[in-house]
Structure 1
């Protein structure tokens, strides 16, 4: 299938992105062929992991008395201690380990137009912490340490398209945050670059339309978080194309398409949203001080692992990895592990016929600018058994008691598997009545979220993940729910 020429890829980018979202591929086969290919690739690209004591990790300084867990190269990442003071919060002080990785990685997806439709070069990648094995990753998913070759392995394929791209070929390029509760001021460069020349397709890589990618979002633990954050940054705010008419046959989907269109308005003007963001960030007194791991009250460390005495929250464990189909065939590393599945829920409602999402402006100790927009509810429910009642997230009970008929999206999706061991969250989009806004929340249409995600530091990674799910609902009939939103 020959590619089509595109002299100016940035021209009409939004309409081309939406057209790709409405496409199921050249033969309409959807994702069945891709899923079959995934099974074949799994025999050639895999990781096998074995938990080992932290003190026995090769190449890492993780002795019981170490102030931080560090790699002998001085690169990759470190696990350090953090002392947090959140003035006026339900939990005003706490201590925790945190991952410190003071470098900006690249999450890059290569795009190419075939027969007038944008497709995206996706990688089936095995990460040591992946749930379910292979997950769908960006074309390039690499830390700076990896693409500079500190692992002494093979070069990262396709990296040349993202290191110094032609600005006229860049569709997305924005620095975005990682998990602010587990990373200390960590960012990645989220990129989509359009190629005009022929691109060789290596083993494990596949060209998919955005419609095929979004259909795969309904499959548990398949589309990884790094892919979801890049997809969320694709521009698509505008009026629906003619091909979307058939999809807007129900009131919810029609309201979602209107929510993509800035001409349809919003409950709050953007200047009001920006003032609220600035005022909250300015008025929030949250300090985070790096401290040695030996100074973390409530945390225990032995040669095996680092964990909280309550048995909740998370732990740092040692992992030995064997791999096939990656730049390096084996390595050791610490990883963050969490018991159970987290909950990310976005409440949505129709206001004047336009779908609005209830966003939470959430402070987190690892964020550069204090607070970013988060889903309505972002938590691990079991953790609140060990915390004061006042710390329980607003609207959590609304989510747990929601009518199953209002659940529009319900899929378990993983956090990235390079630092986290089988960590995932149940992603929920729930339509509800219009609820009052507390000071920490605002109802916002999707086009405002799209405008903010063009810039760094406004939507956290969990919000971007659910934004990708919202986009998928515009071009796909809602999947059947699994009996309601109780985690």
Structure 2
């Protein structure tokens, strides 16, 4: 042993429980602050309306054969960029050796780079604010949405496209110079990406950060952001993912303004299952999964048909691969073409929630998706496009769909239509819901578990536990925890 360990070891740092609790309390205070110090709500509305008017993109559908800078790779038909960077569209074949899932083929986006989703935080008047960016993505059906401070792939921020530099990137390239509030690698859509991950990072700065009046950035409190989450298509997917990773767990909130949801964020609140039991359950499902995935040429994907216009499923379900020509102001590059994935219909993403022992729990589903690194991650109770399934052909995981869609209004805590990532998906909109469950909390299904709200926050300190849809819903749950009401009359998002 003497040869293994150094003779003089550096002093160990004690656990910073007090610091973690203080951070969680500051986040709770920001969530309760529905009026900003740096940016007032009326000022934000005027600014956002201006961004909607000025940051306009013309997005025109074009045949895949007319994409400029992209080509069908000889021998495979895979759609690849001439630079060899950004992403490619290729084929995937999935088989389940255990027979639990039928095998299938599909097109998939392969983007091996790890992107940056970075959110800057700073105190104004003693309250944490977050620097949000108004950004127009080509796949957004409504134009401008609020994104994190930095939302960039490695190809973007290394300027493969020869465009402008990414503002504020330096804060996330050397985060150790500041205070890191959250930092983890998280997955993206396991149904459409092959192994895609992003670094979700929140950095708090103490110095002044220059934000020019004409730029698309504003400082907002969590309370302001949470109010906007309740409105359709304002907070984009990448922002929701980073917001979900904020370390709410640990706060011992006893203020009169606190809610049952906010108190359920406290680490000592208790849970139906211990975190160790949840982790063991998930590890067992991953170890027992018989799903195998292999790459196949796009030209050989079974059940799909390819034309010069698009790639579509032979019966018209699921999604299609299309091409677009984009001309946009306010972007690093002003004109480009690219492939996008376009779902055929709106989806439903929902958590059933209930109080167990006074602590709010969400019903999570251990969902198998071919594009996930570990194949299985915790997903919402319901995650589907209902039109893809006839009622008689619904798979067992959709057993709660009718309970979600048929819930009376008084049991619906959250209901908003939110877009998925507009840089890769075209008009991909899901209806996000949080619905109270009034039935027996005992669920006779090995792929479902009730997980306490503070446990979800704890799992998000690490990567590959909650999928992107579940992270969006955690952000929605946190918005309810702050108790912020939806925007009132006269405060609607301007028409776009």
TM-score, normalization: structure 1? 0.91
1:66 Cα offset (Å): 4.8
Alignment of 1:129-278 (within 5 A): 129-166=139-176, 168-202=178-212, 203-243=215-255, 245-248=256-259, 254=260, 256-278=261-283
Please name the residue that 2:442 is paired with: 436
Please name the residue that 1:50 is paired with: 60
* Change in CA separation of 1:46 and 1:65 when aligned onto 2, cut-off 3 Å: farther
* Change in CA separation of 1:168 and 1:322 when aligned onto 2, cut-off 3 Å: closer
Moved more, 55-64 or 91-100: 55-64
Confirm or deny that 1:462 pairs with 2:455. no
How many angstroms apart in 2 are the aligned matches of 1:435 and 1:241? 26
Alignment of 1:416-431 (within 5 A): 416-431=421-436
How many angstroms apart in 2 are the aligned matches of 1:166 and 1:479? 36
Alignment of 1:14-163 (within 5 A): 14-26=24-36, 31-62=41-72, 66-88=76-98, 91-163=101-173
1:241 Cα offset (Å): 3.4
1:67 Cα offset (Å): 2.4
1:114 Cα offset (Å): 1.2
How many angstroms apart in 1 are the aligned matches of 2:153 and 2:441? 41
Q: Give a deviation string over 1:246-304, Cα, whole Å, max 9, x none.
A: 353xxxxx2x2332122221000111111101100000110111000111111010100
1:445 Cα offset (Å): 0.7
Task: State whether residues 409 and 479 of structure 1, in contact with CA within 8 Å, keep that contact through their aligned partners in structure 2.
Answer: no
Gaps of 5+ in 1: 1-7, 249-253, 481-487
Task: State whether residues 178 and 203 of structure 2, in contact with CA within 8 Å, keep that contact through their aligned partners in structure 1.
Answer: no
Task: State whether residues 54 and 62 of structure 1, in contact with CA within 8 Å, keep that contact through their aligned partners in structure 2.
Answer: no
Please name the residue that 1:472 is paired with: 479
Q: Give a deviation string over 1:379-434, Cα, whole Å, max 9, x none.
A: 00011139944456231122122222100000001101000011011000000123
* Secondary structure of 1:43's aligned partner: helix
Task: State whether residues 90 and 388 of structure 1, in contact with CA within 8 Å, keep that contact through their aligned partners in structure 2.
Answer: no
1:77 Cα offset (Å): 0.1
1:9 Cα offset (Å): 8.5
1:141 Cα offset (Å): 0.2
Confirm or deny that 1:360 pairs with 2:362. no
Gaps of 5+ in 2: 1-17, 488-496
Q: How many equivalent residue pairs?
A: 466
Aligned-residue Cα RMSD (Å) equals: 2.1
How many angstroms apart in 2 are the aligned matches of 1:340 and 1:194? 39
Please name the residue that 1:453 is paired with: 460
Q: Give a deviation string over 1:85-137, Cα, whole Å, max 9, x none.
A: 12445641100000000010000011111121111111000110112110000
How many angstroms apart in 1 are the aligned matches of 2:251 and 2:77? 55
Task: State whether residues 80 and 89 of structure 2, in contact with CA within 8 Å, keep that contact through their aligned partners in structure 1.
Answer: yes
Please name the residue that 2:389 is paired with: 384
How many angstroms apart in 1 are the aligned matches of 2:25 and 2:32? 11
Alignment of 1:323-342 (within 5 A): 323-342=328-347
